[in-house]
Amino acid sequence: MEFSIKSRSPEILKTACAVVGVYEQRKLTPAAKALDLASEGGLAGILKRGDLDAKAGSTLMLHNLPGLACERVLMVSLGKEGEVNDKAYLDAVRAAVKAASGTGAAEAAMFLVEVPVGGRGADWKAEQIVLSAGEALYRFDRLKSQKDESRPSLGKLTLVVGADEAKAAKAAVARGQAIVNGVNLAKDLGNLPGNHCTPTYLADQAKDLAKAHKLKIQVLEQKDLEKLGMGSFLSVAKGSDQPPKFVVLQYHGGAKAEQPVVLVGKGITFDSGGISLKPAAEMDEMKYDMCGAASVLGTMQAVAELKLPLNVVGLIPTCENLPNGSANKPGDIVTSMSGQTIEVLNTDAEGRLILCDALTYAERFEPAAVIDIATLTGACVIALGHVVSGLLANDDALAREVYVAGEEAGDRCWQLPLLDDYQELLKSNFADMANIGGRAGGTITASAFLSRFAKKYKWAHLDIAGTAWKSGKEKGGTGRPVPLLVHFLAGRAKK
Ligand code: BES
Ligand code: MN
Ligand code: ZN
């Protein structure tokens, strides 16, 4: 999909499809009004018949209106004038993109940036339009022998903005485009099944990314990890025939001495639970247990595309969690790279076992901040559902910054308390800690565990168990939290 920005009156703009908003009670937006005037009441006349539902996101396509340079007019309902909030706006934009791409039109022009939305600027609106278009046009059919016939023909979208908004909108479209590319990369990797997306495949993808964008890359192998003493990570990997990999990706866009932001992504390419085997229902969805890693790759790609002026390191510990004869057993005690020992009471709590060694490895970069991203706990899905990601941090200012980035990006998260009181739940009689803290507060005890390995820097943790993919009929990766992370880093780069 290609995007461009133009400032032009709607009646003279040549396009296959002009998209304009309509408020409740058939009140026309300025662009709709201009088309109505030029077509001598063409829009108002049809609205009067009541064919357009007033609910935000309803659409109606008009053909062959006289006096206009466009071939079609797509009207989209916005709800009450003066009361368009984020959700109503996004519903309208999504519906409009879907309706426009359901026609034969190869391109369309949207007049929706002019719609006032709470306190949102033209930049937010332009970016959200790009993200919605990316979402509507995404397909994953590379493993089907018959490719998807319903692939839309819409290939170009023009955002029409006021002349004074053009500059901000242009930057927002570039950011949106980079985010869409990153989201699509993360979705593709997530959607690929475990027999295709192995730890080796993931590492090779990171190498391809490094090559395409001139990033520095190192892939640590089993023997390197042994030398580093990553006994916790390796204990998870040894239950499978696939060799583990540890990806170190570095993007240098800032000053040499500037401290980097380190992103750490959980890369379990399939989580069977190990000896603490998961039940069979929906176990296929555990191919998505590498979505944290995928979001790190998607974000690094976006950062490189945008040439953000800062330094970013991406760390990806990746392996499978399977139950062969050498697998971790409940009760086994492993020694992490930090020297702390861990009693593995449940082999299905493997994410924290691979992340803890990556967090220790992160120390060598003297990071400005570390954010880990992980499909870490089923408990997070119970606590927060599929709307927001879980956020925990050892620094309130960092937590705030991550939260705000999520709000701006439309990729929200919600903070849970990382209080010391939860630490005692991890007590073990035989090792420094256990890898589980019981059923209650499972998301918090998981991050309480991680916090023991993140003492040397400011650290935030995103639990994306409920947001990284959708189940059911719409099953598929979401690419979250790439939008949040790109906004976070773009915000840092500006400072
Ligand atoms: N990858 C899972 C978490 C998960 C489960 C994400 C379901 C999304 C949906 C993780 O490795 C895991 O199995 N966690 C356990 C932890 C428990 C054993 C303390 C869980 O959540 O059940
Ligand atoms: Mn697990
Ligand atoms: Zn897992």
Give tens-digit pLDDT for 360-370: 999 999 999 99
Residue nearest to atom 8 of ligand 1 (CA): 465
Residues 444 and 412 in one domain: yes
Q: Which atom of ligand 1 is nearest to the CA of 289?
A: 1
Task: Flag whether 402 is in a domain.
Answer: yes
pLDDT tens, 331-359? 999 999 999 999 999 999 999 999 999 99
Task: Flag whether 144 is in a domain.
Answer: no
Min mean pLDDT across 141-150, 159-168, 352-361, 431-440 is at 141-150
Ligand 1 touching residue 442 (CB < 6 A) = yes
Task: Flag whether 156 is in a domain.
Answer: yes
Identify the burial level of 256 via C-beta atoms within 10 angstroms of its C-beta, where 0-12 means exposed, 13-18 middle and 19 or more buried.
exposed
Residues taking part in catalysis: 278, 352
Rounded to the nearest integer, the mean pLDDT of the chain is 97
Residues 175 and 199 in one domain: no
Which structural domain range is residue 377 located in?
192-494
Residues 170 and 226 in one domain: no
**Backbone φ/ψ region at 475: left (φ over 0), alpha (ψ -120 to 50), beta:** beta
349 C-alpha vs ligand 1 centroid, how far in Å?
6
With bands split at pLDDT 50, 70 and 90, how would you rate the model's confidence at 152?
confident
Half-sphere exposure of 178 (CA within 13 A, CB side): 24
* d(C-alpha 455, C-alpha 362), whole Å: 11
* d(C-alpha 332, C-alpha 286), whole Å: 23
Residue nearest to atom 13 of ligand 1 (CA): 348
Residues 220 and 157 in one domain: no
288 C-alpha vs ligand 2 centroid, how far in Å?
11
Residues 209 and 72 in one domain: no
Task: Flag whether 249 is in a domain.
Answer: yes
Determine the pLDDT at residue 74: 98
Ligand 1 touching residue 283 (CB < 6 A) = no
Statement: residue 208 has pLDDT above 80: yes
We report the CATH number of the domain holding residue 160 as 3.40.220.10
With bands split at pLDDT 50, 70 and 90, how would you rate the model's confidence at 454?
very high
With bands split at pLDDT 50, 70 and 90, how would you rate the model's confidence at 147?
confident
Ligand 1 touching residue 320 (CB < 6 A) = no
Neighbours of 153 (CB within 10 A): 12
Which tokens is 253 given? 């866009």
pLDDT tens, 90-133? 999 999 999 998 888 999 999 999 999 998 999 999 999 999 99
Residues 157 and 230 in one domain: no
Identify which of 398, 381, 397, 371 has the alpha carbon closest to the alpha carbon of residue 482. Answer: 371
Residues 352 and 430 in one domain: yes
How many domains does the chain contain in total?
2
**Backbone φ/ψ region at 82: left (φ over 0), alpha (ψ -120 to 50), beta:** left
Residues 198 and 63 in one domain: no
- Residue to probe by mutation, ligand 1, list 233, 348, 433, 471, most atoms within 8 Å of CB: 348
Residues 40 and 99 in one domain: yes
Task: Flag whether 78 is in a domain.
Answer: yes
We report the CATH number of the domain holding residue 207 as 3.40.630.10
